[in-house]
Structure 1
Amino acid sequence: MSRTWNFAAGPAAMPEEVLRQAQAELLEWRDARASVMEISHRSKAFMALAAEIESDLRGLAAIPAHYKVLFLQGGATLQFALLAMNLAAPGQHADYVLSGHWGEKAAREAAPYVEVRIAADARASQYRALPPRADWLLDSGAAYVHYTPNETIHGLEFADIPEVGSVPLVADFSSSILSAPLDVTRFGMIYAGAQKNIGPSGLTLLIIREDLLTRATRPMAGIFRYAEHAAHESMLNTPNTFGWYLAGLTLQWIARCGGLAAMAVRNRRKADTLYAAIDGSGGYYRNPVDASARSRMNIPFFLHDARLDSVFLRESEQAGLLALKGHRALGGMRASLYNAMPQEGVEALVAFMQDFNKRHG
């Protein structure tokens, strides 16, 4: 058996360097004489590691001191509900921008805890274009504005950060976090599941401005309250220690690669390579997303004849190209090009696509 090019949308490929380091340290981590996942999360060794990881993240992403960094569980989906519970008081409303499946789900899961106002909606385009900024209906009295910078399923991405005035901007960065430099100060809160660009599934990153932790909201158990997690340095309950450790190794790998600016160049090149192959195929392959809204991270594409889909998937897997099946909501194909996917993997996919066209065209 040999490793292949993994285009999975998440859990996704991780840098091979990270996996090899984890493999080497699996039985004995540093001086612990045990695996990192076997030692207490409250031990001096692990607490020092947690502080080191947070410091690395703050340096890499330029996170200001007045933002808290939390390493939680439950994925981004749990945050859909928790952010409404923590950022809005009973009777308040929040503005939601719908640009795809995950924006829709975020609004739906928040609805029991906040009055959801749809401030912008791209459903009329079947999520092939972003909602025009001029049509957004934002309310200065909203508790927050929520949007999804990159839609993993539909393959749309915002090229810039929307201006929403003084209302806190909240963003689900699950599929584009750490893929390029980001001005954290433009946001009230950022959250992201780790399983695409940070590490394995089971860990969730949350970056929140400190003043939002003091908002008066509603009675709730401490385990649901962000302020409690912040007060206990993400150790209110037993955390995902192994996921936290792997995230730390991934942060170090990004730094060795040149940081977020280098990731941005690398990711832009990969996406441009694949889009050029799709657009240059003479219609054999197509991507339906408006060119100005195309994602760098998740690229759905369709063959000219859907009857060839199963053949494409079978032959691509035989060629060492994994997880190219599109999401069930859309069908077709999808290639996820997160940080860990190298340029060589994209070029291997393009070469296969061109060969498939010749053989089945």
Structure 2
Amino acid sequence: MLCKRNYKGYLYLEDGSIIEGCGFGSKTFNYGEVVFTTSMNGYPELLTDPSYKGQILIIAHPLVGNYGVPKINVLKNGIIENFESERIQVNGLIVSEETEGNKWNSELSLHEWLLENGIPGISNVDTRSLIKKIRMNGVIGGIISSGVEIEKIKSFKYDEIDFTDFTSPKNVIVHEGLYNKSIVIVDCGVKHGIIKGVYDALKYDIIRVPCKSNANDIIKFDPKGVIFSNGPGNPNLLKEVIDTYNSILEYRIPILGICLGHQIGTMALGGKISKMKFGHRAVNKPVIDVISGKSYITTHNHGYAILSKKDLPKNVKLWFFDPNDSTIEGWINEEMGILSLQFHPEARPGPLDTTWIFDKFRKIIEGV
């Protein structure tokens, strides 16, 4: 195999199989859970999404890198416009063909970006065959190696590691708004697209507190609403965050849960979250709103979910479900002012079908 960067790359899977390709990015290796996305665009947003921490991402689209990587664009209040966090979050990247970027605002190539962030990549891989393997057998642990051959593989237990320790801020972060009011985000790895969606709808100060904050750490900011964010890993490990959610319920403050935050809320209210076979990771996933009867195309990135109606908390109303596999995509408790979504309403990258949910949360907060 001829490789344009003159070094090979390998994917060592825990079932014993080895996939050879061409290395790019950093000449190193990394452990991770091997997952895939069917997104056809938005690799800068995908790779910087904290929910991918601990995972080796396969991008199904055959050409990745076409428009390079732009310079990070930070607004005056600290919200990032074109990435989802300050750095690459995936543990590794697998593509069919890595291309050289060519666009007016491109600052780095995909290869240069991975190299700068110390992330290994593999190209010249039959990604269709690899994705079929995962769809048949489920996600699998492995090692991605770029330019380095590995002799011994240790087991990688993704489900036993609390990855929010790597994606949650260590201290409080404030994004200033236009009004003397605040929203608190319990930040387990929040995407900046969510922060921007909340800011556009409310214009309040947005206060991000560490994922393991307790209720007192949140209430001292006198928030008008609390958001439990997205984030990586197994939600069943987050007992401390589940306890915080239950404590916040006592204050009767409106709550919005997104992705991991939805899973935390589900367990706090007595529901069940289970691991999926290969998860939902795409920007074209349909959901059905059972209240309005409408369907929407949405952005997803999760490997855990409410698998059926019987796993819902008993005191909530079903709101959204996925017509492809009937997993639950959202519930609502109108009396307590809680909105809970498995999918992402902010859509970076992806469609704008459900950005109205941020405005719905605003109306609950303001009693409209």
TM bin (shorter chain): under 0.3
TM-score by length of 2: 0.24
Larger strand proportion, structure 1 or 2?
2
TM-score by length of 1: 0.25
* Larger RCO, structure (CA 8 Å, separation 6 or more): 1
